[in-house]
A and B are shown apart, each in its own frame.
Chain A
């Protein structure tokens, strides 16, 4: 509480329901310090996407609602804003599954990200050139229809498109989903570069715990809509529990998730 201004995003005890009934988040609190990369980790259905959508206000279009708690972003309380207003405030979400505009060319996709800004043709070209310095691969493919590019390229388009809105903060929802390890590394390199060179704060939802933590400053682990564990990325990487549950490494060697669960239920019973 002492230095709230150091955080660009401050989520306090939010509860989220879909259709007024389905409780998706029970109690999630997290902070993203200005200029840092924070990873939000957890399995399918843990509530990562829901948390991001609560922040970007994309929840409303899925009949979800923040029913408790508060979200502070860059001095604004997030309440009834629309996604386009949030983009105006400098917060852009890159949705899960890339979601490129398939019938538009790569370049048109990227330019569409500047929709919320009032830019002249010249300014747009200048911005484009700057974006292409991060996404060299996209420059070669600028005239292709986005639907015909590879999965990795589509992810780059989605991030490049978001960058055209000149965000202060990016919400990345599983940017490495379904990508080969080499591409995962390439995407994270770009994300790191954007973070350091452009000063964009990043909240990153990932299932790929290992890579995500190696590229983040801080991490939160959520399960069934609750924050279970948080700490600096380094401390989480060294945490035995995290190693066992999310990295598949234990002192006794590799084991799978089912074994861990079995062990846990046994210890519970004996208690």
Chain B
């Protein structure tokens, strides 16, 4: 009985921590969705682009770890700058659908650029954190939990706290929230949309880099990272597209639910339900709570 409970705890905690990896990817989407009400289809490509550049700087140019990370982060700011200048500004008055299509195109450009610059082979990314159980926890709590998962959890926690403080207490954060509510009114009182767009795209780029590092360390830096965008979709539907805490909680729920279902219900379906169980959950949310758990309800006075 105790063993079973321990096993359940292990599955649950493992799932929750793995979920933070989804949260990290979803976070990038939320940032951009808040400012421009657009689902950024290029987020997956940004993850791939940023982490591949990071690997490239380290492995092809022998730049030390920290410096390479900073360079990659700066590169993502440049990507944000170019996106604002060459994609968003010309489409300033276009409909949200047009911007959505443009992000798909941007995704292809980033994928192509990344592969042209750094090649197509799968790269190994070593963060110095192993993807194996931490001995101390295994000995004392009898739970087998990966060090990488724990790191991802910590990183996600730091990022959410940082972003929360940025949005709640800084001037540009207030500007962003104002733009998220009503871009037209925000511009009428002198909040320059340009700066806000630049901020969110750069921030989303850096978040993509962090997510890419975590996923790259686990699964190798490869083209398949682009499809992470699809994993973030159910997370966003459950958490709410416009909520940062939602992205985190949504990721945790997806992570935990998919692992627990896989272990306890999976065998009845012949296994491998991890792949689609989150989408089933997402469909239930779409039916009964379309704004997600934390999504901003459309407030209407009656």
- Assess A83 versus B175: contact at CB under 8 Å? Given A101-B181, A102-B181: no
Determine if A42 is an interface residue (Cβ-Cβ < 8 Å). Answer: no
Interface size class on chain A is: 35 or more
B96 interface residue (CB < 8 Å to A): no
CA–CA, A35 and B197, complex, Å: 36
Q: Mark B174-199, 1 if CB is under 8 A from A, else 0.
A: 11011011101111111110000000
Which of B93, B180, B184, B190 is close to A95, meaning CB atoms less than 8 Å apart? B184
Residues of A within 8 A of B191 (CB): 84, 112, 115-116
Residue contact B190 to A165, C-beta cutoff 8 Å: yes
The proximity string for A residues 76-115 relative to B, scoring 1 for CB distances below 8 Å and 0 otherwise, is: 0000001110111000111100011111100010011101
Total residue contacts A-B, CB cutoff 8 A: 90
The answer, yes or no, to whether B92 is at the interface (CB within 8 Å) is yes
Q: Give bound CA distance, A63 to B182, whole Å.
A: 18
Q: In whole Å, how far is A148's beta carbon from the nearest beta carbon of chain B?
A: 7
Residues on B with beta carbons closer than 8 Å to the beta carbon of A87:
188-190
Q: Is the CB of A92 within 8 A of B190?
A: yes
User: In this assembly, does B5 line the interface, its C-beta being within 8 Å of a C-beta of chain A?
Assistant: no
Is A61 among interface residues, defined by CB-CB distance under 8 A? Answer: yes
Given contacts A63-B93, A99-B182, A147-B299, contact A104 B177 (CB under 8 A): yes
Contacts A58-B184, A101-B182, A104-B177; is A145 near B189 (CB within 8 Å)? no
Instruction: Determine the distance from Cα of A100 to Cα of B188 in the docked complex, in whole angstroms.
Output: 11
A116 to B189, CA, bound (A): 8
Contact residues, B190-215 vs A (CB, 8 A): 190-192
Question: Are B175 and A93 touching (Cβ within 8 A)?
Answer: no
Contacts of A56 in B (CB 8 A): 188
With A115-B171, A115-B175 known to touch, is A147 a contact of B188 (CB < 8 Å)?
Answer: no
Residues 153 to 212 of chain A near chain B (Cβ within 8 Å): 158, 161-162, 164-165
Q: Which of chain B's residues have a CB closer than 8 A to the CB of A83?
A: 187-188, 190
In the complex, are the beta carbons of A113 and B181 less than 8 A apart? no
Q: A62 on the interface (CB 8 Å rule)? A: yes
Tell me the complex Cα distance, A93–B178, Å: 16
Binary contact readout A113-124 vs B (1 if CB under 8 angstroms, 0 otherwise):
101100000000
Enumerate A124-139 residues with CB–CB distance to B below 8 Å.
none
Q: Mark A51-69, 1 if CB is under 8 A from B, else 0.
A: 0000010101111000000
Contact A101 B178 (CB under 8 A): yes
Let me know if B296 is at the binding interface, CB within 8 A.
Answer: yes
CB neighbours of A164 from chain B (8 A): 189
Minimum distance in angstroms from B114 CB to a CB of chain A: 34
Cα A88 to Cα B191 in complex, Å, equals 10
State A82–B181 Cα separation when bound (angstroms).
Answer: 20
Contacts A/B (CB < 8 Å), 11 sampled: A83-B188, A83-B190, A84-B187, A84-B190, A87-B189, A94-B188, A95-B188, A102-B181, A112-B186, A164-B189, A165-B190
Known pairs A101-B186, A115-B178; list 13 more (Cβ under 8 Å). A56-B188, A58-B187, A58-B188, A63-B93, A84-B190, A92-B188, A94-B188, A101-B181, A102-B182, A103-B296, A111-B174, A115-B190, A162-B189
